[in-house]
Chains A and B, each alone.
Chain A
Amino acid sequence: MKLRTHLLILLAPVIAGAQQFDRTQVPALDKPPALKLPSLERVSLPNGVTVQLVQQHELPLVQLTLVIAGGTKLDAAQPGLASFMTRMLTEGAGTRDANALQGELAFLGAQLGASAGTDAFTISLNVPKRTLGEALDLLGDVILRPTFRAADVRRQRDLRLASILQRRDNANLLAALAFNQLVFPAGHPYHRPSDGDSSTTAALDSAMVRAFYDQTFVPERARFVVVGDVTAPEMRALLAKRFGSWTRGTSARTMAAVTAKPVANSAVKIYLVDKPNAAQSVIYLGAPGADRLHPDYPALMVMNTILGGSFSSRLNSNLRETKGYTYGISSRFTWAPLAGPFTISSGVRTNVTDSALVEIFKEMKMLRDLAVDAAELERAKAYVALGVPQRFETNSQVAAQLVDLGQYSLPLTSLGDFVAKVGLVTAADVQRVARQYLPASSATLVVVGDVAKIRAAIETLKLGDITLLDAQQVAR
């Protein structure tokens, strides 16, 4: 302390207005700004399709998302078909082939994206206000009049086969694929990758894509979310013109409840995937988690932040910052209407693979066995709660929140409730959910690495039975 003061006197320029203060004291902060939610309007088209709208007039832009309930959970018989059909929407529609459609969108300054989630199809348009009408004409074609030409389907099918082949190159992907195949049994939507495998993809043709589209793109499952420089009456008129006469489907594919249950182990099971000469080992482990509407959601968010959901989490502090085993380690719950997994993942130096596993299991056990101290708990709660307002900065972020909440029929105000519930989470709550969800003695553990160099050391740990998996089978 003396030395520092001395240096200041010698070197620091004296500035008018520089205040005397004690640099050793952490600044006291004002109360964080309260969560301010955007105001939401709701209108309906003549055919009953709802439109949720948030006006944002700061920039002359409109973000429009069409959500159609369904998604990849509808293609169980032909895995990959839902995401493939969605991909094909932007490869030709109305009178335009892929080339003309993409050229027109670029010319209008519009961005159009289509994707299939597990529970919904999402088609998203971002466009300047002045070209909104023309862009909606194109969107009308994409949603109502996709062409699915045989030649275009064949080209995209072949490209997808190539990308499926390339899964074998990627250790992180291999680990996740293996984990999902092991924890979710055949018949469960999370068992296989949403993009399908090579055999289901090779079978794709134009007629299959068309039939699936007819059964899934039905207005009674559709809703629009609009955020931007537009009013509700304006938007209603623009959408009614393009989508007002979209008729109800006659043969909508049913959304049967998922009956296959994820696998809960009675002991740790270890699976190794060989990647000779790998520069590191990819560790991926976990267990069945919870669904987004589960009452444990706020406590799980806090517990995960402490374990591996933030930079200063226990896992990252231990394995990266203390031991130097990895560039980073993190954990997460996958939140969806259908419970996703809880997972921990990291890439670690090959020669410390076993030591890293010891530390990971130790951290899970500690969080289960010992109550967290007040400072750590408060830090995690603040980190979770104060992050919520940052989800509302851009039009696309606001739209994403509405799309997400909408699939659970949750109002925007539920985020305020969430913040309040986070505030009530106690150390006992954290310990209870840690005991219930952290698989300290029941994890499914996948390691992708140089098996010849890591196997013996992992066996010595006696964590559980070891099975060798073939990368060609995991990514097939």
Chain B
Amino acid sequence: MRHFIPALALAFAPAIAAAQGAPLRVPATVDTLPNGLTLIIHEDHSVPIVTANVWFHVGSGDEKPGRTGFAHLFEHLMFMGSQNAPYPQFDRLLEAAGANNNGSTTEDRTNYYEDGPSSALPLMLWLEADRMGWLLPPMDKDKVDLQRDVVKNERRQSYENQPYGMVSDHLPKLLYPASHPYSWPVIGSMADLSAASLEDVKDFFRRYYAPNNATLVVAGDVKPDDVRALVRKYFSDIPRGPAIDRPTPAPFVVKDTAIVLEDRVQLPRLYLNWHTVKAWHTDDAALDLASYVLAGSRTSRLTQALVYTGEIATNVQAYQDGKRLDGDFSIVTTARPGRGLDTLRAVVDAEIARLAKDGPTARELDEAKNAAEAAFLRGIQQVAGKADRLNAYFYQTGTPDSFQADLDRYKAVTAADIQRVVRQYLRANRVMASVVPQGKPELAAKKGVIQ
């Protein structure tokens, strides 16, 4: 992320339960420029605001060993000025127009967005086009060195100075083999960040930051023909880039692993991780719903067993993280004072075994589906959320308005599906990390025997 935004409370966010009747639609048009840029437009005239959201199909999953963290470092450089909007015009012009902006990097993609009054759209598009086409002329070593320092500060702030933050350096390389591009964290290592050069920046830009590797969503209070005319005007001159080879990692089996990390924390925390499936795999939605049945609400099984009935943990979370190439499932739980992690580990294993044996109840399944739908709709109350989702769906499925199709995956999941995926994926080899207070290795979990 280019700059930090304090978390907003989501507690009051809207929800919609299942069975509303009409299919969920976020109508969007798709145009392609001759240079390969995809333009997706969604009209929403409820409030006079607009968002421009660009996805470049490049992330840390496209990096090479020795240059980890580069995709994210590059994201920062995209704000350092382009030919016609020299630094610091990008931020100054947008702020003067009442607009906000940011960017973020994942394993699979890098996004950039501006939100503001609908009158600011020409400025947003002019700025995005200028850096898509003409970032390199004013780029120099000083800018790379400066943002390298900023990213190192980001790494310190978001990981190294956070309690339990060091675990995110360890989990990727234990879950994925060294040849797999998910085997390093998006933020990268300090050593690799130090190694990145101006030449690396130029090569990366020429390879990945081309219109044929980008999709642009404009959503909000706009007239589609006006948007098309503006996009043609600003983006048509940008030359097409080379075709891109994407990594195709080989299948693998996770080595059953347990590690213990000591940290300056008061309470020990247990991380359990399994290799599962990528986004939109036939088992992805069932695993997502399984995570809800296990830890999605105060009534879910692990929350009840660990926090309410057992009273041995302060909290527990579970999630399926299906990415473009692969996926993983995590359960994270923090012990109450005086408790060791092996007790928590045993309860988690027992609950997983019970879900694998009997599956969820009909009521649990309904609740999980309703909650999934509510969470899903919560993200698209604002045009900014819709725009990012349209870009995500276009990348994943080729159809921007895949909202109902995505929801249908969840609606189709049966109790038997959940039982099956728990058996198939959560009983296999796993990576277990115990983060314990310094000098207290005895609080770590033992490698469980999986029946």
Contacts and interface: CB of A to CB of B under 8 A. Distances in A.
A364 B259 CA distance: 48
Nearest to A394: B381
Contacts of B89: 26
Interface of A (DSSP majority class): mixed
A278 interface: yes
B229 interface: yes
Interface string B241-270: 000000000000000000000001111000
B146 A26 contact: no
A457 interface: no
A312 B4 CA distance: 14
Interface in B139-159: 145-146, 149-154, 156-158
Interface string A374-411: 00001110110111011011111001100000000000
Nearest to A16: B232
Interface in A153-176: 155, 158-159, 161-163, 165-166, 168-171
Contact-size category for B? 35 or more
Interface string B356-372: 00000001001100110
A328 B91 CA distance: 15
Nearest to B121: A29
A311 B119 contact: no
Contacts of B98: 32, 382-383, 385-387
Contact of B16 (A61, A162, A279): A61
B33 A15 contact: yes
B299 interface: yes
A312 B16 contact: no
A18 interface: yes
Nearest to A103: B299
A327 B157 contact: yes
B75 to A, nearest CB: 13
A322 to B, nearest CB: 8
B435 to A, nearest CB: 11
Contact-size category for A? 35 or more
Interface of B: 3-4, 9, 11-18, 20, 33-35, 46-49, 83-85, 88-89, 91-93, 95-101, 115-120, 122-123, 126, 130, 134, 137, 145-146, 149-154, 156-158, 160-163, 221, 229, 232-234, 236-240, 264-267, 297-299, 304, 307-308, 311, 314, 336-337, 363, 366-367, 370-371, 373-374, 381-383
Interface of A: 4, 7-8, 11-13, 15, 17-19, 21, 23-24, 26-33, 36, 58-61, 63, 65, 98-99, 102-103, 106-111, 113, 115, 124, 126-128, 130-131, 155, 158-159, 161-163, 165-166, 168-171, 275-280, 282, 310-312, 317, 320-322, 324-328, 347-349, 378-380, 382-383, 385-387, 389-390, 392-396, 399-400
19 contacts: A4-B83, A11-B240, A60-B16, A60-B20, A63-B12, A107-B366, A109-B16, A126-B13, A126-B15, A158-B311, A168-B266, A169-B163, A280-B153, A317-B88, A320-B150, A327-B157, A327-B158, A386-B116, A394-B382
